[in-house]
Amino acid sequence: MAAVALKLFTPARFLGVGRSAQASPRLKLHITASVMAATVEDFNNAKAKLGTLKKDPGNEVKLRIYALFKQATQGPCNTPKPSMLDFVNKAKWDAWKSLGSISQEEARQKYVVLISSLLEPETPAGVAAQPAGADTSYQNLLVSTQDQITTITLNRPEKKNAITVEMYTEIIQALDQASKDDSVITVITGSGDFYCSGNDLSNFTKIPEGGVEQMARSAADLLRDYVKAYIDFPKPLIGVINGPAVGISVTVLSLFDVVYATERATFHTPFSNLGQSPEGCSSYTFPKIMGAAKASEMLLFNKKLTAMEACQVGLVTEVFPDSSFHKEVWSRLKSYAKLPKNSLAYSKQLIRAAEKERLHAVNNQEVERLVERWLSDECMQAVMSFFQGKAKL
Ligand code: COA
């Protein structure tokens, strides 16, 4: 119903951008030297360019634009929640609220990147020699390349960036694209207040004609390919963990080369709560990184680590204060991306080479165990409990 109501808005009206605020169509949105440090001027330019969009970007994107605009200009959402029947304002409020406490600077930055990604395909050929720029072919990711950095942003903040079947496929594609493009390093981060809440549990509720066995088999193939994409990724892969991380978004971090986290982040792998078992090679990498005892607390007994604890056990490289997280991390990444591309790629491949075969074998074993787990009563009961609202983490 909300979706129907939202269609009544044009982008400019919806976002409260009046005609007078719209820039000349010839004015190209300029993102300063770095996509990672949008100035107030960049923000104002982006706001002005928004009115020149020829194509309606769709309700989800409009909500996202609205939310980032509010967060950038007013900070976190503290207004009362509209009534359930006030569909449009409730949807807008939800979108704004889902950004949690991200800073105004970060929201400004994300707003600029988003508007830029919408403008890119509309820019006439031959105008602007921007870097590879943004790729808008993804539904639930923002993927852009700037300053030799390809950034993959999980972009489903209203669901805490839970990973749907489609998103797994998109992330595999985005990693494949990043492995072949001109970027020097690749970054994965999340939109909103969460990094990622792990596997979208509704993946378990979409039963195909072939029944649960077929669902489990296709999920296994997808998961195997997903983890493989990390094991085989040839360039430095960096996690910018902007908030809590759950499940598979935590386990695959052990396949990243560097992990930077805000102090607000937490790391939680509640597999036994869900009647499941470890994936992402964590049954092998976690004991190796943190020792069997600490790994078992996480993987068997669902211990949630703070960012500092995750750093102490070696899963996270460094933790930053939330207020300066964005600025400090991106200025560091920009300098990393100036290092020689091939030297970095070959060095990463050498560091990982000895483990690669082993990791593929572990991935296969974990996936086979999960097929059995997904079909178990223990798992089905846990998923049902979540959707009945009984079993939040
Ligand atoms: N799968 C499906 N939906 C999810 C999800 C997931 N992994 N994580 C969050 N969501 C949905 C919620 O159902 C909710 O949807 P709704 O608005 O339609 O009700 C929305 O995202 C927002 O989450 P909410 O639960 O309201 O936010 P919160 O801050 O109170 O709690 C979590 C966040 C992540 C603690 C909670 O959503 C949760 O426990 N999710 C399950 C995580 C999980 O078990 N992942 C699998 C690990 S193996």
275-322 per-position pLDDT tens digit: 999 999 999 999 999 999 999 999 999 999 999 999 999 999 999 999
What are the domain boundaries of the chain? 1-129, 131-393
**Residue 185 CB less than 6 A away from ligand 1:** no
The two tokens of residue 97 are 């609220």
Predicted local confidence at residue 37, as pLDDT: 65
The domain covering 131-393 belongs, at the CATH homologous superfamily level, to 2-enoyl-CoA Hydratase; Chain A, domain 1 (3.90.226.10)
Shortest CA distance to 367 belongs to which of 295, 298, 286, 278? Answer: 278
The two tokens of residue 7 are 């269609």
Shortest CA distance to 230 belongs to which of 164, 152, 310? Answer: 152
Has residue 24 got a pLDDT over 80? Answer: no
Q: Locate tokens 């993102």: which residue? A: 31
**Residue 199 CB less than 6 A away from ligand 1:** yes
Contacts (Cβ under 8 Å, ≥6 apart) of 26: none
342-358 per-position pLDDT tens digit: 999 999 999 999 999 99
Pocket test for ligand 1, best of 159, 249, 266, 299 (most atoms within 8 A of CB): 159
**Residue 304 CB less than 6 A away from ligand 1:** no
DSSP 199: B
Angle, vertex CA 263, rays to CA 261 and CA 268, nearest 5: 70
Measure 377 CA to ligand 1 centroid, in angstroms: 21
Does the pTM of the predicted model rise above 0.75?
A: no
Would you give the end-to-end CA distance of the chain in angstroms? 29
Strands (E) in the chain, as ranges, are 133-135, 141-146, 149-154, 185-190, 237-241, 245-246, 258-262, 266-268, 305-306, 318-320
C-beta separation of 109 from 38 below 8 A: yes
CATH architecture classification, 1-129: Up-down Bundle (1.20)
The two tokens of residue 82 are 């509209």
**Residue 227 CB less than 6 A away from ligand 1:** no
Strands (E) in 278-353, as ranges, are 305-306, 318-320
For residue 27, give Cα distances in angstroms to 19, 118, 371, 374: 15, 15, 54, 53
Instruction: Out of 16-20, 107-111, 151-155, 207-211, pick the least confident.
Output: 16-20
Predicted local confidence at residue 36, as pLDDT: 54
User: What is d(CA 241, CA 253) in angstroms, rounded to the nearest whole number?
Assistant: 10
Q: How confident is the model at residue 43 (pLDDT cuts 50, 70, 90)?
A: confident
219-230 per-position pLDDT tens digit: 999 999 999 999
Measure 162 CA to ligand 1 centroid, in angstroms: 7
50-92 per-position pLDDT tens digit: 888 777 787 777 888 999 999 999 999 999 988 876 778 888 8
Q: How confident is the model at residue 129 (pLDDT cuts 50, 70, 90)?
A: very low
Shortest CA distance to 255 belongs to which of 344, 330, 355? Answer: 355
> Pairing mode, if any, of strands 305-306 and 266-268?
antiparallel
230-266 per-position pLDDT tens digit: 999 999 999 999 999 999 999 999 999 999 999 999 9
Where are the alpha helices (H) located in 75-196, listed in sequence order?
Answer: 87-97, 104-119, 165-180
**Residue 159 CB less than 6 A away from ligand 1:** yes
User: What is d(CA 248, CA 201) in angstroms, rounded to the nearest whole number?
Assistant: 12
**Residue 100 CB less than 6 A away from ligand 1:** no
